[in-house]
């Protein structure tokens, strides 16, 4: 991790849908190579924020730059430098494993040779060589998610945004998924990951915890546990949720 280089800079990000404020004045920075956890319960506003950072949606206000590009004016350059794994499933179910890899590699402009070489390496690493020509629809969810992640970083982006990448899979597969994340981070890719599994927060370098559209806490997991006098992140989260309901 390089703490001097900030690849995501967000200042006073607000997003409103009508009178409803989904993101309320978010400010944070993410360093190069960091694994940044973006935590919050369902409906907290995580997906809303991640879509803005990826250039898929306009913020209502705020200054946001990602990989050095402004989300208002330089969205297309921004998109060249990021990967995104959406909360909805993002591979084509009616295409095979290899066809999906080739398609996403191709639209990022990778050459045919590079696509073939990297695809072979990737399938070997995931132990999915036997599934190369199987349709995505026939694979178990855990495999699909690992594959979707690998496809999202296939073009070597600076930052990858993962929106609840481990939703609905068993703990063993989740652990394997996090191994992939660590590996990518070691390779220099910044990871921005949302989750509502609090145990996953422990794997992050820093986490922000969002409640009802606001960031209520932001620090390393160790520091947060200390501040809240909590044994694990679950307790930190519960403490925060309690303050949120008290305020209302």
Ligand X SMILES: Nc1ncnc2c1ncn2[C@@H]1O[C@H](COP(=O)(O)OP(=O)(O)O)[C@@H](O)[C@H]1O
Strand pairing partners for 206? 36
> Binding partner of residue 108 among other proteins, ligand X, Mg ion, none, CB under 5 to 8 Å per kind?
other proteins
Window 49 to 88, contacts with other proteins (CB under 8 A)? 51, 54-58, 75-76, 79-80, 82, 84, 86, 88
Q: Give the dihedral of Cα atoms 25, 85, 66, 49; nearest 10 deg.
A: -10
* Residue 22 and residue 15 in contact, taking contact as beta carbons nearer than 8 Å: yes
How far is 216 from 210, CA to CA, in rounded Å? 6
Q: Does 114 bind other proteins (CB under 8 A)?
A: no
Specify the residue, 56 or 126, whose C-beta has the smaller distance to ligand X.
56
The residue range among 97-105, 116-124, 183-191, 201-209 that interacts with other proteins, by the rule CB under 8 A, is 97-105
Residues 6+ apart with CB under 8 A from 226: none
By C-beta, is 48 or 203 nearer to other proteins? 48
User: Contact 64/9 with Cβ under 8 angstroms?
Assistant: yes
Pairing of strands 2-17, 61-66: antiparallel
> What are the phi and psi torsion angles at 31 (to 5°)?
-85, 160
182 forms part of the interface with other proteins (CB under 8 A): no
* By the rule CB under 6 A, 47 interacts with ligand X: yes
Comparison of 64 and 240: residue with beta carbon closer to other proteins? 64
Does 95 sit near other proteins (CB under 8 A)? yes
What is the contact mask toward ligand X in residues 26 to 45, using x (rule: CB under 6 A)?
Answer: --------------x-xxxx
Q: Which residues bind ligand X (CB under 6 A)?
A: 17, 20, 22, 40, 42-48
């Amino acid at each position: 991790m390089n703490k001097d280089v900030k690849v995501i800079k967000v200042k006073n990000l607000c997003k409103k849908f009508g009178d409803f404020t989904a993101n309320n004045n978010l400010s944070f920075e993410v360093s190069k190579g960091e694994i940044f956890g973006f935590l919050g319960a369902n409906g907290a506003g995580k997906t809303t924020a991640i879509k803005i950072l990826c250039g898929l949606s306009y913020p209502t206000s705020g200054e946001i730059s990602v990989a050095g590009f402004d989300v208002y004016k330089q969205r297309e350059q921004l998109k060249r430098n990021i990967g995104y794994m959406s909360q909805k499933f993002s591979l084509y179910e009616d295409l095979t494993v290899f066809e999906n890899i080739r398609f996403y590699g191709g639209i990022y402009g990778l050459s045919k040779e590079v696509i073939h070489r990297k695809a072979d390496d990737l399938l070997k690493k995931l132990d999915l060589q036997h599934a190369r020509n199987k349709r995505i629809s026939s694979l178990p969810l855990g495999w699909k998610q690992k594959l979707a992640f690998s496809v999202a970083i296939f073009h070597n982006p600076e930052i990858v945004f993962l929106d609840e990448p481990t939703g609905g899979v068993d703990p063993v597969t989740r652990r394997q998924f996090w191994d992939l994340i660590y590996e990518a981070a070691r390779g220099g890719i910044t990871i921005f990951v949302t989750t509502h599994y609090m145990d996953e927060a422990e794997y992050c370098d820093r986490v922000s915890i969002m409640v009802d559209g606001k960031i209520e806490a932001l620090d390393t997991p160790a520091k947060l546990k200390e501040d809240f006098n909590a044994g694990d992140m679950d307790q930190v989260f519960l403490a925060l949720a309690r303050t949120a309901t008290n305020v209302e």
